[in-house]
Amino acid sequence: MKLFCAGLNHRTAPIEARERFAGHAGTIARLREQGEVLLLTTCNRVEVYAATARELPTSEIAQALQLHGDDVAPGELAAFYRYENDQCARHLFRVASGLDSMVVGETEIFGQTKRAYEQARASGGAGAFLHRLFQRAFRAAKQVRTKTEITRGSISVGSVAVELAEKLFGDLRGRKVLVLGAGETSEKTLRALASRGVSDLRVTNRTAARAEELAQRFDGMAVPFTGWLEHCREIDILLSSTAAETHLVTPENLAPMIRHRVDRPLFIIDIAVPRDVAPEVNGLEGVYLYDIDSLQSIADDTLQLRRQQIAAAEAIINEHVADFSRQMAQFGAREQRVATLHPEIPATLRVSEL
Amino acid sequence: MDRQLLIFSTLCFLAAVVRSSVALRARVFRRSRFNFGMILLGFLLQSAFLGLRGHALGRCPITNLFEVLVFLAWSIALIYMVIGPAYRLSLMGSFTAPLVFLLQSFALLAPIDAPRTGRVPPNAWLEFHASISLIAYGAFALACVAGVMYLVQERQLKTRELHSIFYQLPPLPNLFSAMLRLLWFGFALYSAGLISGFFTGEPLPWTKVTLAIVIWIAYAAILFGPRLCSMSPRHLAAFCVAAFAAALSLLWSIEFVAHHA
């Protein structure tokens, strides 16, 4: 059996090309006649993994992935890569671990790979060979995730803010959040906070209608813009993103509000430019102020750290590739023996029985 | 034989320290069973050492500074194992192991294991007083460890320089409540130890009594301070660290004075 993969991704082809070759179960049905075939499609890649008795040329795979059935131009074929045997295993292990992703270390690809495998298994596309290959890929990816820091931290400003809040308070359930300014950025961050269990949401805005609309959407409470400061006595997180040209929160107006809450930290996320919160506020006891630059800097550090962890992740993957290669060699030898003893049994049946 | 047990115990704590340091340098600071396993093994060896010593002495083995330091290290390990996993503060082990390692290394290297001439007659009140006070010191030591963890995390949050260890530390409110619980636990034991000291039937050296009362007042001030004035958790953590450093120095002074008297 020949084990290989072929496809294109965000590095080898622009989105237009990926759209044209976004094949599905129907388009690759013809390939399945040749042996085990599995299709992995995400927004960044379209790949076919196969274990077949005869060699399938890349052009045939590209043709099968073509959505409109047109001929594949030679220029388009150049965007396809192809890996065989150990290289195919290494490529899949890197993909499942998030090393081949646009954002190194992202974990969504693991779930997408798993779903692709389950679909192929259910439809009969994945047999003994691909089963071994993908199970090994999942083990490798899990080990990469637990033994390295490649998936640690967040790399977007909003998620860094939410992660910090979670780190600071442990559990966000029951925490009180006040949103100052009901813009699009506030809404995104608010959505992320709500998804982590924050239930007491208060929104204030110069335009009261907009505050009410946003508060309603998140089952929160609209607060009059003239009285928002009073809420700082109770809240745990202040998310600020207004278009104000001067500082709305200063040590002078905040200090009296937090005087009696010494044992409860106040986390302030200021994602407005120009800033809504005076930087001196960070000097107040128990107040932790993060503006857009500090959040971006943490996101950059995380990305840097993830890149530093690539070598450690590659070492884990090398071990798994070596193991998989040995396993496949033994499997091949057993299959060969059966083929010699019982040439009447078809190859596909031999493989599935083994 | 008993010193060998202690050496092996110290090596176990050293292994936990090395493991944490390597993980920290590699920026993959994670909770590990290895650390807890090493601390547990170190604790069992400590217990065996104290058991052998106690059997030889025919009383609780806290008759000289060497034994006092080992007993203190044992109480720290004991309280860590009781409260660490319970309050999900397993990372505390990475901070506890160096403290225990330093205490035991000092005990082993310094010439402070002065042998007693003859058997000391058992005195239940005295043994209760000494052992309960040392366990209280163990609780204060762990409160100090929680304080250090609090200060490290608070500093990183304020300066916005978040290192690998930051992501593994327990949340600030959890650390604060663990610190308070340990302080109350230690304070209750220390108070019991202090009171029982008056029932030992032994002459009461005024230096020892004064120093013990000073330590008691210091911890009472830390515990009641936030209620009387608006003391922030950061200040409480800092006082917690300072008080334990002072208490440890005073403990040593008390033993030093007693030994030379």
Per residue in B34-50, pLDDT (tens digit) is 888 888 999 999 999 99
Q: Per-domain residue ranges for chain A?
A: 2-150+309-353, 157-303
A297 in contact with B, Cβ within 8 Å: yes
Tell me, what amino acid is at A255? Answer: A
**Alpha-carbon distances of B47 from B60, B61, B74, B82, rounded to whole Å:** 12, 11, 7, 15
Structure tokens at B260: 């030379």
Minimal Cβ distance to B234: which of A152, A153, A285: A285
Question: Per the domain annotation, does B117 fall within a domain?
Answer: no
Q: What is the mean pLDDT of residues A322-342?
A: 83
Give A57 to chain B, closest Cα distance, Å: 43
Residues in chain A: 354
Residues 6+ apart with CB under 8 A from B213: B194
**A267-271, B37-41, B226-230: which has the minimum mean pLDDT?**
B226-230
Cα separation, B207 vs B254, in Å, equals 8
Helices A310-341 and A85-97: angle between axes, nearest 10 degrees? 140
| Rounded-to-integer distance, Cα B153 and Cα B146, Å | 11
What pLDDT score was predicted for residue A347?
62
Residue with tokens 């990183």: B156
Query: How far apart are alpha carbons A31 and A56 in whole angstroms?
Result: 9
Contacts of A129 (CB under 8 A, 6+ apart): A1, A3, A36, A51, A351
Asked whether the beta carbons of A114 and A67 are under 8 A apart, the reply is no
d(CA A137, CA B223): 54
Asked if pLDDT for residue B25 goes beyond 80, the answer is no
**Buried/exposed code over B53-68 (b: 16+ C-beta within 10 A; e: otherwise):** bbeebebbbbbbbbbb
At B80 the pLDDT is 83
Q: Flag if A169 and B233 touch (Cβ within 8 Å).
A: no
Answer yes or no: do B160 and A260 touch at CB < 8 A: no
Q: Per the domain annotation, does B212 fall within a domain?
A: yes
Within this chain, domains A2-150+309-353 and A157-303 share the same CATH topology: no
Active site residues of A: 43
Average pLDDT over residues B110-136: 79
Instruction: Measure the CA–CA gap between A314 and A57, rounded to whole angstroms.
Output: 29
* Domain enclosing residue B87, as ranges: 2-112+123-260
pLDDT for the residue numbered B210: 86
Between these two residues, A25 and A209, which has the higher pLDDT value?
A209
Return the number of other C-beta atoms located less than 10 Å from residue A132's C-beta: 18
Q: Residue B38 corresponds to which tokens in the numbers above? A: 């090493």
**DSSP strand pairing (A45-52 vs A200-204):** unpaired
- pLDDT for the residue A353: 56
Sorted by sequence, the CB contacts under 8 Å of residue A293 that are 6+ apart come out as none
User: Which CATH superfamily does the domain covering A157-303 fall into?
Assistant: NAD(P)-binding Rossmann-like Domain (3.40.50.720)
Q: Dig out the tokens for B134 from the structure.
A: 């040392």
Structure confidence at residue A309 (pLDDT): 87
Helices of type H across B26-123:
33-57, 65-83, 92-109
pLDDT on residue A325: 93
Lowest mean pLDDT among A242-251, B18-27, B151-160: B18-27
B-chain CB neighbours of A149 within 8 Å are 27-28, 164
B27 closest CB neighbour out of A286, A298, A305? A305
DSSP conformation class of B139: H
Averaged pLDDT for residues A123-135:
90
B58 conformational bin, left if phi > 0, alpha if psi -120 to 50, beta if neither? left
Residue B24: list chain A partners with CB under 8 A: none
- Per-residue pLDDT tens for A228-241? 999 999 999 999 98
Orientation angle between helical segments A184-195 and A157-169, nearest 10 degrees: 40
Residue B114 pLDDT level (bands cut at 50, 70, 90) = confident
> What tokens were used for A43?
């927004």
* pLDDT above 70 coverage of chain A, percent: 97
Note the pLDDT of residue B138.
87
What is the pLDDT confidence band of residue A149, given thresholds at 50, 70 and 90? confident
Confidence (pLDDT) at A158? 80
* pLDDT band for position A292 (cuts 50, 70, 90): confident
- Is B227 near chain A, with CB under 8 Å? no
**Does the CB of A81 have a partner CB in chain B at under 8 Å?**
no
Residue pLDDT, tens place only, B51-76: 998 888 887 888 888 888 899 899 88
Q: What is the mean pLDDT of chain B?
A: 83
Query: What integer pLDDT is reported at residue A304 of this predicted model?
Result: 84
Treating both helix axes as pointing N-terminal to C-terminal, what angle do A157-169 and A292-308 enclose, rounded to 10 degrees? Answer: 90
Averaged pLDDT, A159-171? 87
Burial of B72 (0-12, 13-18, 19+ CB in 10 A): buried
Contact A59, A98 (CB under 8 A): no
CATH 3.40.190.10 is held by the domain A2-150+309-353: no
Average pLDDT over residues A271-297: 91
- Looking at residue A5, its amino acid is C
> What was the pLDDT predicted at B1?
63
pLDDT band at A190 (very low <50, low <70, confident <90, very high): confident
Residues 6+ apart with CB under 8 A from A14: none
Summarised one tens digit per residue, pLDDT across range B91-108 is 676 778 888 999 999 999
A135 in contact with B at a CB cutoff of 8 Å?
no
Q: Which of residues 98-157 of B touch A (CB under 8 A)?
A: 157
Q: Is residue B118 part of a domain?
A: no
Average pLDDT, rounded, for chain A = 87
Contact between A306 and A149 under an 8 Å Cβ cutoff? The reply is yes
Check residue A346 and give its pLDDT: 65
Q: Is the peptide bond before A224 cis (omega within 30 degrees of 0)?
A: no
Distance CA B128, CA A56 (A): 82
Measure A40 CA to nearest chain B CA, in Å. 31
**Residue B145 counted as domain residue:** yes
Residue of B151, B157, B163, B180 for testing the chain A interface, max A β-carbons within 10 Å: B157
State which residue of chain B sits closest to A152, comparing Cα positions.
B167
> How many residues does the structure list for chain B?
261
Selected for mutation to probe chain B from A167, A264, A297, A304 (highest B CB count within 10 Å) is: A167
CA angle (A326, A332, A333) in 5-degree steps: 95
Percentage of the residues of chain B whose pLDDT score is greater than 70: 85
pLDDT (0 to 100) of residue A186? 81
Residue A153: CA count within 13 A, CB half-sphere = 30
Q: Is the confidence at residue A328, as pLDDT, over 90?
A: no
pLDDT of residue A307 exceeding 90, the answer is no
Say whether B173 and A264 touch across the interface (CB within 8 A).
Answer: yes
Would you say residue B139 lies in a domain?
yes
Between A280 and A335, residue with greater pLDDT: A280
| Residues A277/A295, Cβ–Cβ less than 8 Å | no
3-state secondary structure chain A: CEEEEEEEECCCCCHHHHHHCCCCCCCCHHHHCCEEEEEEECCCEEEEEEEECCCCCHHHHHHHHCCCCCCCCHHHHCCCEEEEHHHHHHHHHHHHHCCCCCCCCCCHHHHHHHHHHHHHHHHCCCCHHHHHHHHHHHHHHHHHHHHCCCCCCCCCHHHHHHHHHHHHHCCCCCCEEEEECCCHHHHHHHHHHHHCCCCEEEEECCCHHHHHHHHHHCCCEECCHHHHHHHHHCCCEEEECCCCCCCCECHHHHHHHHCCCCCCCEEEEECCCCCCECHHHHHCCCEEEEEHHHHHHHHHHHHHHHHHCHHHHHHHHHHHHHHHHHHHHHHHHHHHHHHHHCCCCCHHHHHHHC
Longest alpha-carbon distance in chain A: 89
Q: What is the per-residue burial (b if ≥16 Cβ within 10 Å, else e) of B239-260?
A: bbbebbeebbebbeebbeeeee
Task: Tell whether the model's pLDDT for residue A56 goes beyond 80.
Answer: yes
Closest-CA residue in chain A for B172? A168
Does position B119 have pLDDT exceeding 80, yes or no? no
Residue A245 has pLDDT above 90, yes or no: no
- CA-based nearest residue in chain A for residue B155: A288
Closest by Cβ to B230, choosing from A170, A262, A288: A262
Chain A hits for B222, CB-CB cut-off 8 Å, are: none
Confidence of residue B258 (pLDDT cuts 50, 70, 90): low
**Shortest Cα distance, chain B CAs vs residue A273, angstroms:** 19
Select from B111, B46, B110, B37 the least CA-distant residue to B73: B46
pLDDT at B91: 63
Instruction: Give the mean model confidence (pLDDT) for residues B226-245.
Output: 85
Residue B116 has pLDDT above 80, yes or no: no
Q: Quick check: A170 and B157 CB within 8 A?
A: no
- Please say whether the beta carbons of A170 and B171 come within 8 A: yes
Question: What is the tally of structural domains in chain B?
Answer: 1
